[in-house]
Chains A and B, each alone.
Chain A
Amino acid sequence: MKNKEPLILAVVVIFSLITYYLVEPYAHHVMHKHVESEHFAYADLPALAANGDATRGQDLVMGAGACTGCHSIEAAGMPAAMEAQDAAASYGVNPPDLSNVGVIFDERFLADLIKNPAHALKVEHKFTEESGKMHPMSAFAGGGGDIDQEVADMVAYLKSIALKAEDVTPKIAYENACGRCHAMSYENWTQIGEKPSFKEKKDALAYDIKVLQYEDSLKAYMGKLPPDLSMYIRSRGEHFVSTFIENPQAQLEGTAMPRVGVTAEMAEKVIEHMKDSGDTKRAERESVGMNVMIYIIIFAIFALLWKKQVWRDLH
């Protein structure tokens, strides 16, 4: 009698694979818009006009640029003037500390941000003339000289005080790029910082009240409370998160979320941090997976040999 088993196996496998293809890759391709990565090139923004001078930049940042009116620069010994929840009450969101923005964000993005915040952030649809709203960060109108040169100087200064890229941990990248709007409760992160452990319950509650006050301002500013990102790496997947960070409007037109402006390297770190929260056991999964596979393959080989031995007498 001809052995039909290979044919039967082929039929089973082919029908299973067709079903899998249709309900997984194909259905998701139809349901979700595919956005191609632009590799964080920010090609829509002009390249920096000139070589920046950090010393002149420092004068501009501290002086004519008036950055320090709202932003702290802890790296330059300038702590925040207000607590986060109070700053958020004034601006909608706590203006970021500028210590490490030079390494986290792309230089084209920073330059454009200084000159035209709503444009760089891709939130001009929120601040139209009809809406009567103004972006809380005022555009830099120039310090008396060539504005492009001045912006380049300021960017050079911000880069000079920032950490080196290799010293930026995934956590620092996340806190700078996302952390003022998005809590990450599984990493104990709130929008006003990492929640300390308090001895007294009243201190813990007092902290929670500050977070709630901050979130109220943020909700009013953004339209809704930006989601907790603890499990976003699993609920959205790496490709979505990456392209969303790069250009939120491409994935979700009209969203209140601003373009983040991180460099490609920092985007990877942000995603790494999201994996540290939502997919903590990924390395263990690989190693345990390999061991289980080796064990099961050995089991399958022994089972095969046993079958051959038992069936020798049956034919």
Chain B
Amino acid sequence: MAHFTKATSIKDWLNQRLAIDTVERVMMSEYWIPKNINFLWAMGMVLVITFALLLVSGIFLLMYYQPNVDTAFYSVNYTIMRDVDFGWLWRHVHGVAASVVFLIIYIHMFTGIYYGSYKKGREMIWVSGMLLFVAFSAEAFSGYMLPWGQMSYWAGMVITNLFSGGSLHADGLVEWIRGDYVPAQAFLTRFFMLHVLLIPLAILGLIGLHFGALRIPHVNNQDGEEIDFDKEAKKYLAGDKAGSKVMRFANDFMSKDMMVVGIYLVFFFYLVFWNYGFAMDAVNFDPADGLKTPAHIYPEWYFLWSYEILRPFSVDIGLVAFAFAQVIFVLLPWLDRSPNTVPANRRGLFAIWFWVMLVNLIVLTAMGKLPPEGMFSQIGFVSAILFIVQWLMLPFITMFEKKV
């Protein structure tokens, strides 16, 4: 056993047992961050804060929510929205945060793509981030089932149907997932379990991995500069704070994080109190009815682009395209063959690739919501093809990229 001496202070007592000084140094004051970054680098902290809001509001909702097909809708819309003090507030915070978290995830993702933050040593940051995206998607979908409204029921029906695999007719698999022939009690209870236990556990683990993956390669910077972190850290510690190219995570970078968080929260609470409709679909305020299909069934906005890659094709091809869209982002570090870790605007054809990809995803998102009729389905079809072609082209575009 280690040697313990009589503690001179509470801090010393804790230091002997938990090495809190070392932890503080490693995680905060000597965790070095490049200085040449912009506010997009604060999206990680914004996501942490949003996740915390989801967790806290979710805990409060969990105290009154009832995972039963007969009482779920009532427990949400009557008990939580009317009876419980500030129940409405927690629900609005939860609903809006669940939607906004995806906006921030997409910004965070495209920041990574633009600045090449998935390359050369940073692959695990990207992969763990994409796994988080998958986990958040599953969390969002399972949570959407819980109010047991019309959209919960019918989205649950449509999405679980995908697992039949088109012509494979794997109906047994669909029944196994649902625990019944149609979404019913078994379905609701298991999605409740997934939403409040299994997926949150996975998310917490993945967040740990995501942070851990960042420690060795360090955070990327906005100029594609390769920084000698040890040398710059010494300079900083020697007192040349202005001359060093790096800064402490806390409080240096943290103060900027908090500034961005502050501005973000103004926007977030504006949505919670005055513009929440986009996050709480009107159709889901009708109780689930298996005999009445809604006129338009569409997923939440953040799933629309992949939904639109599924929709314009025949069932089997659509499913293949959909599966392609789900996994292809994860492979980005290996599909991008260029050695350059610099912002996209200095990478020639890749810059065009990036902006076309971004705009195309927005087009797909819009077409995924619009009814698949006339011009909309043609635009959706072309966009879905373009999405796939772009990914197939990526290795070739980047292979011939000049070294900068």
Q: What is A's interface to B at a CB cutoff of 8 Å?
A: 1, 4-5, 8-9, 12, 15-16, 18-20, 22-24, 26-27, 30-31, 186, 230-232, 234-237, 278, 280-281, 284-286, 288-289, 292-293, 296-297, 299-304, 306-307, 309-311, 313-315
Query: Please, which residues of chain B bring their CB within 8 A of the CB of A18?
Result: 362
Stretch from B119-127, B184-192, B250-258 that touches the partner: B250-258
A19 and B365 contacting across the interface, CB-CB below 8 Å: yes
Number of B residues near A (Cβ < 8 Å) is 54
A57 to B273, CA, bound (A): 51
A315 to B243, CA, bound (A): 8
A306 to B272, CA, bound (A): 27
The verdict on B393 contacting chain A, using a C-beta distance below 8 Å, is no
The verdict on B370 contacting chain A, using a C-beta distance below 8 Å, is yes
The verdict on B47 contacting chain A, using a C-beta distance below 8 Å, is no
The verdict on B329 contacting chain A, using a C-beta distance below 8 Å, is no
A27 to B269, CA, bound (A): 24
A-B contact pairs, 25 of them (CB 8 A): A5-B38, A15-B358, A22-B362, A23-B304, A30-B370, A31-B295, A31-B296, A234-B280, A237-B282, A278-B77, A281-B81, A281-B88, A285-B92, A285-B273, A289-B272, A296-B265, A300-B259, A300-B266, A303-B258, A303-B261, A304-B262, A306-B251, A310-B251, A314-B241, A314-B247
The verdict on B89 contacting chain A, using a C-beta distance below 8 Å, is yes
Query: Please, which residues of chain A bring their CB within 8 A of the CB of B88?
Result: 281, 284-285
The verdict on B290 contacting chain A, using a C-beta distance below 8 Å, is no
Given A285-B273, A300-B259: 15 more A-B contacts, CB < 8 Å = A8-B38, A12-B107, A15-B358, A19-B366, A30-B371, A234-B285, A236-B282, A280-B82, A289-B269, A300-B265, A302-B262, A307-B259, A310-B255, A311-B255, A315-B242
A236 CB, nearest partner CB in chain B, Å? 7
A302 to B263, CA, bound (A): 11
Identify the closest chain B residue to A287 (Cβ): B273
Identify the closest chain A residue to B358 (Cβ): A15
Contact of A23 among B222, B272, B301 (CB under 8 A): B301
Query: Please, which residues of chain B bring their CB within 8 A of the CB of A280?
Result: 81-82
The verdict on B78 contacting chain A, using a C-beta distance below 8 Å, is yes
A278 CB, nearest partner CB in chain B, Å? 7
Identify the closest chain B residue to A21 (Cβ): B366
A286 to B276, CA, bound (A): 13
Identify the closest chain B residue to A297 (Cβ): B266
Per CB-CB distance, the 8 closest pairs between chain A and chain B, nearest first, are: A289-B273, A300-B262, A235-B285, A22-B366, A303-B262, A234-B285, A310-B255, A307-B255
A14 CB, nearest partner CB in chain B, Å? 11
Identify the closest chain A residue to B286 (Cβ): A235
The verdict on B35 contacting chain A, using a C-beta distance below 8 Å, is yes
A24 and B278 contacting across the interface, CB-CB below 8 Å: yes
A101 CB, nearest partner CB in chain B, Å? 30
B286 CB, nearest partner CB in chain A, Å? 5
Identify the closest chain B residue to A7 (Cβ): B38
B273 and A306 contacting across the interface, CB-CB below 8 Å: no
A281 and B285 contacting across the interface, CB-CB below 8 Å: no
Query: Please, which residues of chain B bring their CB within 8 A of the CB of A186?
Result: 77-78, 82
The verdict on B283 contacting chain A, using a C-beta distance below 8 Å, is yes
Identify the closest chain B residue to A286 (Cβ): B273
Contact of B89 among A16, A288, A304 (CB under 8 A): A288
A281 and B241 contacting across the interface, CB-CB below 8 Å: no
Q: Quick one: CB contact mask for B277-299 with A, threshold 8 Å, 1 for yes?
A: 11010111110000000011000
A231 and B285 contacting across the interface, CB-CB below 8 Å: yes
A4 and B38 contacting across the interface, CB-CB below 8 Å: yes
Given contacts A299-B262, A303-B259, contact A310 B252 (CB under 8 A): yes
A42 to B139, CA, bound (A): 50
A40 to B78, CA, bound (A): 32
B285 and A307 contacting across the interface, CB-CB below 8 Å: no
A313 to B369, CA, bound (A): 49
Contact of A15 among B82, B263, B273, B362 (CB under 8 A): B362
Query: Please, which residues of chain A bring their CB within 8 A of the CB of B296?
Result: 31
Identify the closest chain A residue to B296 (Cβ): A31
Query: Please, which residues of chain A bring their CB within 8 A of the CB of B270?
Result: 293
B366 and A26 contacting across the interface, CB-CB below 8 Å: yes
Query: Please, which residues of chain A bring their CB within 8 A of the CB of B283?
Result: 235
A24 to B103, CA, bound (A): 14
Given contacts A15-B358, A20-B278, A296-B269, contact A5 B39 (CB under 8 A): yes
A54 to B45, CA, bound (A): 73
Query: Please, which residues of chain A bring their CB within 8 A of the CB of B304?
Result: 23
B138 CB, nearest partner CB in chain A, Å? 21
Query: Please, which residues of chain A bring their CB within 8 A of the CB of B273?
Result: 285-286, 288-289, 292-293
The verdict on B274 contacting chain A, using a C-beta distance below 8 Å, is yes
Identify the closest chain B residue to A13 (Cβ): B267
The verdict on B131 contacting chain A, using a C-beta distance below 8 Å, is no
The verdict on B194 contacting chain A, using a C-beta distance below 8 Å, is no
A261 to B56, CA, bound (A): 47
Query: Please, which residues of chain B bring their CB within 8 A of the CB of A310?
Result: 251-252, 255
B358 and A303 contacting across the interface, CB-CB below 8 Å: no
A235 to B282, CA, bound (A): 4
A48 to B194, CA, bound (A): 64
A44 CB, nearest partner CB in chain B, Å? 28
Among the interface residues B86, B88, B241, B262, which one has the most CB atoms of the partner chain A within 10 A? B262
A281 and B261 contacting across the interface, CB-CB below 8 Å: no
B143 CB, nearest partner CB in chain A, Å? 18
The verdict on B357 contacting chain A, using a C-beta distance below 8 Å, is no
Query: Please, which residues of chain B bring their CB within 8 A of the CB of A230?
Result: 77-78
Query: Please, which residues of chain B bring their CB within 8 A of the CB of A12?
Result: 40, 107
Identify the closest chain A residue to B363 (Cβ): A22
Identify the closest chain A residue to B107 (Cβ): A12
A180 CB, nearest partner CB in chain B, Å? 22
Query: Please, which residues of chain A bring their CB within 8 A of the CB of B371?
Result: 30-31
